[in-house]
Amino acid sequence: MAKEKKMVEAITSMEEDFAQWYTDVVKKAELVDYSSVKGCMVIKPAGYAIWENIQKELDSRFKEAGVENVYMPIFIPESLLQKEKDHVEGFAPEVAWVTKGGLNELQEPLCVRPKSETLFCDFYARDIQSYRDLPRVYNQWCSVVRWEKETRPFLRSREFLWQEGHTAHATAEEAEERTVQMLNLYAQFCEEVLAIPVIKGKKTDKEKFAGAESTYTIEALMHDGKALQSGTSHNFGDGFAKAFGIQFTDRDNVLKYVHQTSWGVSTRIIGAIIMVHGDDSGLVLPPRIAPTQVMVIPIAQHKEGVLEKAEAIKNELQGQFRVKLDASEKGPGFKFAEQEMRGIPVRIELGPKDLEAGQAVIVRRDTREKITVALDELSKKVGEVLDAMQTEMLERARAHRDAHTYVARDYEEFKETVANRPGFVKAMWCGDEACENKIKEETTATSRCMPWKQEHLADTCVCCGRKAKAMVYWGKAY
């Protein structure tokens, strides 16, 4: 048992050092590895399989929402990046530049895409002529590069995987509708599939995307009380259209600018799954996103019939669940620890005594609940346990978030809360960026969003005491 114990001991406890716990989990659950390329990660099979499931779930929702996938070039010529002023200011300091192709210097440097609005705009300017060409609801799955200084697996890296939707519409109303529709789609996906409850809201001008008219966001609360921006949806209005000359002839024969949106979710969301659901034994994956939902683990597998029955159980469950059998030579304790570390939602233990009694033991990853089941009821029971786990994980995450969401009515209370109680703080705001800046400087909390569900907590701004314009969620963030 020495080796098994060692494996568990190797993880720092969450309470002791959350950041180290996170690093330990991504490494020990074999989600990622570091690479020889500074700031870039290797996504290993266990990590990539989560991303594949996210892609599959999101992409089918996209297609139902009328989205078509495309692929744009990986490079952006410098002149193209510079066409939209706010946009280039936002991105220039953090892009990687290709200056040499083959053996020759390039005449014009190309940046490796940090995001592709300029390419989509350049394309739409040629592609859209008439109202008949609208709307265009395109998306691409790709990797993007941002030259970050401090990096952490999934949360912030120089390269990450994501999807970026880019749409063009005939009217401002339609663009706004699409912006909201996609944010709702993200929120639903997070809650239904990832069991992560989110706050939907609007970013302040200070926090919105460079070049956007408005940015909507979903904000999730991690186990340590910090917020994670988990997806964004931007309404660009006609700003990019004017910079790139994207015009169409409308039904009334008048030449008009299109209205555009953009929205994205990245591998960052895997960080959210880890930090919302994980525990001191490792990862805990919501059943709907888990690459392996059930691990069958035989006990005393050398005893007659055990391995055969375990195999039979795997085969029986296979059509209904994503199931694996661990028939390796490791001891059961080690297999348990490994399955727990990897966050596999359910394990089925089967030993000689179970075999004799015609039963098996189901163990839930999140609650450790052990349920003894007759073999002929196994598949039904596994289904029930996975469903219950999915539902309860969301409820637990919501309860945790609600228990860590505070209200502050004056600045003293605000500062005291941010300093001592990790979580969201709801407080009123006057709308002035100066107050946001002051709060950030003095507390390190930032405005996460102005939630769609507004509450009237007070008449005055929590910071300056002037008339309040909106309720804001504040928090320390990743």
**CB nearer to a second copy: pick between 73 and 305:** 73
The candidate with the shortest Cα–Cα distance to 27, out of 4, 1, 53, 46, is 46
The answer to the question of residue 131 lying near a second copy (CB under 8 A) is no
Is 161:112 a contact under the CB 8 Å cutoff? no
Question: Token digits for 419?
Answer: 């300093």
Return the range that interacts with a second copy (CB under 8 A); candidates 10-18, 93-101, 378-386, 427-435.
93-101
Angle, helices 332-341 vs 2-9, to 10°: value is: 10
Give the type of residue at 211. G
Burial class (CB in 10 A: 0-12, 13-18, 19+), 32: buried
The answer to the question of residue 89 lying near a second copy (CB under 8 A) is no
Q: Is 265 helix (H, G, I), strand (E, B) or coil?
A: strand
Which residue in 75, 250, 375, 413 binds a second copy (CB under 8 A)? 75
Question: Token digits for 275?
Answer: 């930090």
The answer to the question of residue 65 lying near a second copy (CB under 8 A) is no
Q: What is the DSSP letter of 170?
A: S
CB of 4 to a second copy, least distance (A): 16
**CB nearer to a second copy: pick between 154 and 473:** 154
CB of 203 to a second copy, least distance (A): 24
Q: Is 325 helix (H, G, I), strand (E, B) or coil?
A: strand
Which residue in 26, 29, 80, 362 binds a second copy (CB under 8 A)? 80
**CB nearer to a second copy: pick between 95 and 439:** 95
Going from the C-alpha of 363 to that of each of 117, 327, 336, 404, the distances in angstroms are 47, 18, 10, 29
Instruction: State the Cα–Cα distance between residues 305 and 310, nearest whole angstrom.
Output: 9
CB of 79 to a second copy, least distance (A): 9
Q: Count of residues binding a second copy (CB under 8 A)?
A: 52
Return the range that interacts with a second copy (CB under 8 A); candidates 9-17, 28-36, 200-208, 217-225.
28-36
Residue with tokens 């019939």, as numbered in its chain: 305
CB of 359 to a second copy, least distance (A): 32
Is 147:92 a contact under the CB 8 Å cutoff? no
Q: Which of residues 139-178 bind a second copy (CB under 8 A)?
A: 142-143, 145, 147, 158-159, 161
Return the range that interacts with a second copy (CB under 8 A); candidates 29-37, 227-235, 255-263, 367-375.
29-37
Q: Which residues bind a second copy (CB under 8 A)?
A: 33, 35-37, 40-45, 48-49, 51-52, 68-77, 80, 93-103, 109-110, 112, 119, 122-123, 126-127, 138, 142-143, 145, 147, 158-159, 161
